[in-house]
Amino acid sequence: MTKAAEAARAAVEREDGGTLRRYYHQMLLLRRFEERVSEMYVKAKIGGYCHLNLGEEASIVGLMDALTPDDYIFTNYREHGYILARGVEPGPIMAELFGKETGVSGGRGGSMHLFDAKAHFMGGYAIVGGQVPLAVGAAYALKYQGKPGVVVAQMGDATTNIGAFYESLNLAKLWKLPILFFIVNNGYGMGTSVEHGSSEPNLSKKGGAFRIHGERIDGTNVLAVRDAVRRLRQKAEEEGEPAILDVTSFRFRGHSVIDADRYRDADAVRRGRETFDPVRKFAAILRDTGIVEDAFLKETAELVDRMVQDAIDFANNSPEPKFEDMYTHMYATPVPNTPDAQDAIRAVKINRGE
Ligand SMILES: Cc1ncc(C[n+]2csc(CCOP(=O)(O)OP(=O)(O)O)c2C)c(N)n1
Ligand SMILES: [Mg+2]
């Protein structure tokens, strides 16, 4: 056994069994949800772009378990797992992907724009880096209003090459804001590897010029992620000390569900999936340490399958948004009788086959 594997096993043995079983259940829910989403996309139930969290389950569950209900989360467009792990019901999340009225964003946002204000889940942003300055603004608001909690700015590795990232780091440190920059380092920004896109491949160092502390964390180890987030979260909240977390993982599929992933060697991808599968690794360690038996793994799989099937049924049986509501939830004044608006309505009707 490697040193890392020994340490991982020892950490599991120190942990309470109920907590470990809960993490496994959540990680498997994320896994099955994304697998079925991929299937629903092929069946044309889901339109637009769609990005999956496959391979990132441990980093998501570890992060979310370390947060409190006061905390706020801003993410990129690869966010299905985050809102699920935040405890939002799978049905309205799936319904949002299906563009239905019952979706978390009323069917107006889709896969990249999941949102739930009550859960402090501030969404899904499609513009790379767009969420980062917004998260800094929210952290400023918490500090200004003297409220408890921290803000998490989740992003991908390639996002650390965007200018707004550095402006955000500067203000976060300068103003001593309660914020964590949670970088999901899945090795790629679309078809560009970290080594090709970033002059500093160790992303935890990218706050150096701003005197921001950074750490690299194994994103396939749920306990390692949770413990790092807990520790850094506390410093952010109590001392106004922001931090960068460079959380490594392996991207199981192409960038989005329609990416054929031709720029990666197929054998290397197969090997990567075997080596870095956080769900399988966790199941193996729980079984080897005697914390769970095969029956538990089987029951959990059945339970999760049912939950995701229920979410799909809910989404399928939900109504489409109504035409009369086309201009609700908008900042601009509705102008439903202009020729442009009538064209838009006709286009949607044609799409729906009406
Ligand atoms: C400002 C901007 N530039 C380019 C794009 C196109 N784009 C979408 S995702 C992406 C890659 C981002 O990769 P990363 O930050 O590593 O996140 P990941 O997809 O791996 O989660 C790019 C370039 C965009 N959406 N916004
Ligand atoms: Mg990436």
- HEC string of the chain? CCHHHHHHHHHHHHCCHHHHHHHHHHHHHHHHHHHHHHHHHHCCCCCCCCCCCCCCHHHHHHHHHHCCCCCEEEEECCCHHHHHHCCCCHHHHHHHHCCCCCCCCCCCCCCCCCCECCCCEEEEECCCCCHHHHHHHHHHHHHHHCCCCCEEEEEEHHHHHCHHHHHHHHHHHHCCCCEEEEEEECCEECCEEHHHHCCCCCHHHCCHHHCCEEEEEECCCHHHHHHHHHHHHHHHHHHCCCEEEEEECCCCCCCCCCCCCCCCCHHHHHHHHHHCCHHHHHHHHHHHCCCCCHHHHHHHHHHHHHHHHHHHHHHHHCCCCCHHHCCCCCCCCCCCCCHHHHHHHHHHHHHCCC
pLDDT above 80: residue 196: yes
Domain spanning 3-321, CATH architecture: 3-Layer(aba) Sandwich (3.40)
Instruction: Give yes or no for residue 78 CB within 6 A of ligand 1.
Output: yes
pLDDT above 70: residue 333: no
Instruction: Give yes or no for residue 157 CB within 6 A of ligand 1.
Output: yes
Q: Which tokens sit at 146?
A: 């003297």
Label residues 290-327 b or e (16+ Cβ within 10 Å = b): ebbeeebeeebeeebeebbeebbebbeebeebeeeebe
Q: Please give the distance, rounded to the nearest whole angstrom, from the Cα atom of residue 263 to the centre of ligand 1.
A: 16
Q: What is the pLDDT of residues 123-148, one digit of tens each?
A: 999 999 999 999 999 999 999 999 99
**Ligand 1 atom at minimum distance from 128 CA:** 26
Atom 15, ligand 1: residue with shortest CA distance: 156
Q: What is the pLDDT of residues 303-329, one digit of tens each?
A: 999 999 999 999 999 999 988 787 777
Q: Please give the distance, rounded to the nearest whole angstrom, from the Cα atom of residue 127 to the centre of ligand 1.
A: 7
Q: Say how far apart CA 33 and CA 28 lie, in whole Å.
A: 8
Q: Please give the distance, rounded to the nearest whole angstrom, from the Cα atom of residue 185 to the centre of ligand 1.
A: 12
**Ligand 1 atom at minimum distance from 127 CA:** 26
Substitution candidate for ligand 1 out of 52, 128, 182, 257 with most atoms within 8 A of CB: 128
Instruction: Give yes or no for residue 100 CB within 6 A of ligand 1.
Output: no
pLDDT above 80: residue 330: no
- Residue labelled with tokens 């413990």: 227
Main-chain phi, psi angles of 135, to 5 degrees? -65, -40
| Residue 336: per-residue pLDDT | 60
pLDDT above 70: residue 335: no
Instruction: Give yes or no for residue 61 CB within 6 A of ligand 1.
Output: no
**Which of 206-220, 254-268, 319-333 has the weakest average pLDDT?**
319-333
| Residue 163: per-residue pLDDT | 97
Q: Please give the distance, rounded to the nearest whole angstrom, from the Cα atom of residue 175 to the centre of ligand 2.
A: 28
Q: Please give the distance, rounded to the nearest whole angstrom, from the Cα atom of residue 186 to the centre of ligand 2.
A: 5
Q: What is the pLDDT of residues 79-89, one digit of tens each?
A: 999 999 999 99
Q: What is the pLDDT of residues 213-227, one digit of tens each?
A: 999 999 999 999 999
pLDDT-derived band at 63, boundaries 50, 70, 90: very high
pLDDT above 80: residue 198: yes
Atom 25, ligand 1: residue with shortest CA distance: 127
Instruction: Give yes or no for residue 80 CB within 6 A of ligand 1.
Output: no
| Residue 265: per-residue pLDDT | 96
The whole-number average pLDDT for the span 50-76 is 98
Q: Please give the distance, rounded to the nearest whole angstrom, from the Cα atom of residue 101 to the centre of ligand 2.
A: 31
Counting every residue written for the chain, the total comes to: 354
**Ligand 1 atom at minimum distance from 51 CA:** 19
Average pLDDT, the chain: 95
The whole-number average pLDDT for the span 320-341 is 76
| Residue 334: per-residue pLDDT | 60
The residue extents of the domains of the chain are 3-321
The whole-number average pLDDT for the span 230-241 is 98
**Ligand 1 atom at minimum distance from 160 CA:** 15
The whole-number average pLDDT for the span 70-80 is 98
